[in-house]
Amino acid sequence: MISTFDVFKIILGIIISVFILFIILRFTGSYTDISESSREVSTMISLKKTIEDVYTTGIETDFEVKDAEFITGYNPPYIETKVSMVSMDPVPLLLVPGTKISLHRNGYDIGWWKFYFIEAMPEANFLFVPLGEGNEKWSVTGNITGSLPSTENTKNKVKFGVGCNGSEFWFGWEGYKFIDAVMPRLIASDSEFSECNNTEYFREKGYVLVTVSDEMKEADFLVKPLTEDVGYVYIKGDEGYSSYVYKNSVDIAALLLGGQKLYEYENEKFFGELEVAIDVSLKKYALLAANENMNRRCGNEISGFVQTLNSIKEIVPKVKKQPKEDDAIQFAALMRESREKYGEIDTVGCG
Amino acid sequence: MKAQIHLMEYVLLSFFVLLIIVMITLFLTGWQMSTINSEQTRVTNAKAEFLLRAFANSPYINKNTYKEGSMLEDSKLSSINCEDLQKIYGEEWFAQIETLEFTDECTQDNYPSCGKWTFCKKEGDAIVFELPVNIYRTMTGEIDIGKLYVGLYKGG
């Protein structure tokens, strides 16, 4: 016969057991979540540190994350994962999410100013389709290749090629080799190419076709140069073509790697830094020109350079966002002029 | 009476079991918190170190022709200010550059006979890193030896 006390013991035992089990399960669940989150945060911190190291040293490297879904998106400057968002500021980063990525520092160098940015991307294959006559298509092709990573020293490769001639194409070179060894031969032999007729094959194999032509063509990614530095990029989407004015090859690289979002982010960073660089240079040369000896030695050169910088300063607000064709051409011409004028200052030893 | 004593025994036993569970939970949470804190310190140190290296290599204060960095140019240092650098490197930091030869703070008036540049005032607790640098004297073409200090405010 069970006594009242035994019944009490059984009920109390059940209540306490359930309670303990509930707490243990709850805590184990939270603890597992926390551990998982901590691991993800650690990976993100490690990725950020690697990106910063590449930015400050210029030494390229590889980085691997545990699975393809680890990075859920890149909303510049934030890299998003399931549990966190990590800002990559102040490093300008052009990121294509992937499991195995290679990180490279690239730059826009104009003598008196350098704009460094990081390109982080998985393996990729770019096939150029240069159409039309003249050598402009080759200089644009070379500039685009130079603005994308050259992966000679990393495991994850970005390769370049050229086509098409019917269904034939030539492919498999990394950046520097493509620019230094392949392109001079193509230019010297005056090679001509036509539109690729097997685009579906390239899509399936993961090639990115970059058509360079001075006429409108049916293409997924078309670069239509107006001058050596400026032109239009047309990207085919579900609702037709989107067009963008580019002012340098960094704009094209940003559009190739991440479309409009990356293009706008890259421009924001580029012009933010350019405005600081202009202000600092103007103040620097005002300081130097105030010195009698310096003014006598290179006053003329400084005055010419300062004039160009002031012109760039005036045009920057017009080209910062959605520039007009004429403004972009003027901006690119002024940037070239500033490089030449700075070269003159440097030659007389006042750089 | 005996039953009441047994009852009390069970209540006490339950109380101690619960107490042990709560203590284990608190211990594990505390341990997790301390791990997070040490991770936070590591992140802050890494950020301060990054800023130091970014300054040492920054094209805004380095001489243009020295791509490897650590060759700061006195005319650039005298032309740039805290706000300019904050636009590029963000806030929550300060930096100072000193030459061994001159200790006067550089202004537009005493340039180039000066040897100290301060960017953004130091306010509050900060993690400070330092690095020896070269300072290129634009007017004379000479190179001085100096030190670059970069501090990041805690929690910055």
Domains and CATH numbers, chain A: 4-94 (no CATH), 123-258 (3.40.50), 262-347 (no CATH)
Q: What residues pair up with B96 in beta bridges, in sequence order?
A: B118, B149
Cross-sheet strand order for the sheet of A78-80? A73-75, A78-80, A85-87
B interface residues, A as partner, C-beta within 8 Å? 3, 6-7, 10, 14, 17-18, 21, 25, 28, 32, 35-36, 39, 42-43, 46, 50, 53-54, 56-57, 59-60, 64-65, 75-76, 78-80, 84, 87-90, 108, 111, 138-139, 141
ipTM value for the complex: 0.82
In a domain, B16, yes or no: no
CA–CA dist A110, A309 (Å, integer): 12
Question: Residue B148 carries which side chain, given as an amino acid letter?
Answer: L
Does B7 map to a domain? no
B32 and A34 within 8 Å at the Cβ level: the answer is yes
Task: Output DSSP code: residue B105.
Answer: B
Is B12 part of a structural domain of the chain?
Answer: no
What number of other Cβ atoms are within 10 A of residue A129's Cβ? 26
| pLDDT at residue B66 in the model | 79
- DSSP β-ladder status, B126-136 and A207-212: unpaired
On whether residue B100 sits in a domain, the answer given is yes
Q: Do B106 and B156 form a contact (C-beta atoms < 8 A)? A: no
pLDDT of residue B84: 94
Residue A55: per-residue pLDDT? 94
Any idea what the Cα angle at residue A164 is, between residues A163 and A166, rounded to 5°?
Answer: 160
Number of compact structural domains in chain B: 1
Domain-embedded: residue B87 = yes
- A12 close to B (CB below 8 A): yes
Mean pLDDT of A202-222: 91
Q: Give residue B52's domain range.
A: 34-153
**Pick from B56, B65, B134, B62: nearest CA to B101:** B134
Average pLDDT, chain A: 90
Specify if B17 maps to a domain. Answer: no
Q: Which 3 state secondary structure label does DSSP give A239? A: coil
The answer to whether residue A75 neighbours chain B at the CB level (below 8 Å) is no
Residues 188-207 of A with CB under 8 A from B: none
Give pLDDT, residue A251: 96
**Would an 8 Å CB–CB cutoff place A303 in contact with chain B?**
no
What are the beta bridge partners of residue A165?
A168
Q: Give the pLDDT band of residue A296 (cuts 50, 70, 90).
A: confident
Residues of A in contact with B14 (CB under 8 A): 12, 16
What distance in Å separates residue B10's CA from the closest CA in chain A? 8
Residue A337 has pLDDT above 90, yes or no: yes
What pLDDT score does A318 carry?
93
- Quick one: average pLDDT of A54-71? 89
B4 belongs to a structural domain: no
The pairing of beta strand A221-225 with beta strand A207-212 = parallel
Q: Report the alpha-carbon distance of residue A126 to residue A162 in Å, rounded.
A: 8
Q: What's the CA gap between A85 and A68, in Å, rounded?
A: 17
What integer pLDDT is reported at residue B156 of this predicted model? 61
Q: Which residues of B touch A110 (CB under 8 A)?
A: none
The arithmetic mean of pLDDT across residues A120-132, rounded, is 94
Q: Which of A48, A118, A41, A122 has its CA nearest to residue A82?
A: A41
Q: How high is the pLDDT of residue A312? A: 97
Averaged over A272-283, what is the pLDDT?
95
State how far the Cα of A250 lies from the Cα of A110, in Å rounded to an integer: 13
Q: Please give the pLDDT value at position A60.
A: 95
Q: How many CA atoms lie within 13 A of A304 on its CB side?
A: 13
Q: Which long-range contacts (CB under 8 A, 24 or more apart) does B116-119 make?
A: B117/B77, B117/B78, B118/B94, B119/B80, B119/B81, B119/B82, B119/B85, B119/B94, B119/B95
Please check whether residue B18 lies inside any domain of the structure: no
| Greatest alpha-carbon span in chain B | 102
Residue B38 pLDDT more than 70? yes
Find the helix packing angle between A292-319 and A249-289, rounded to 10°.
150
Query: Identity (one letter) of the amino acid at A75?
Result: N
Identify residue A44 by its one-letter amino acid code.
M
- The one-letter amino acid at B13: L
Q: What is the mean pLDDT of residues A110-124?
A: 94
Using CA atoms, how far apart are residues A229 and A340, in angstroms rounded to an integer?
15
A242 contacts chain B (CB < 8 A) = no
Determine if residue B141 is left, alpha or beta; phi over 0 gives left, psi from -120 to 50 gives alpha, anything else beta. left
**Minimum CA–CA partner of A56 in chain B:** B54
Q: Which of residues 41-70 of A touch B (CB under 8 A)?
A: 41-42, 45, 49, 52, 55-57
Say if residue B96's pLDDT is above 90: yes
Q: Does residue B155 carry a pLDDT above 80?
A: no
Does the structure show a pLDDT above 80 at B2? no
Q: Which residues of chain B form beta strands (DSSP E)?
A: 71-73, 93-99, 116-119, 126-136, 143-153
Tell me what pLDDT residue A329 has.
96
pLDDT at B130 (0 to 100) = 93
The tokens describing A15, both together, are 């209540």
What average pLDDT score do residues A266-285 get? Answer: 95
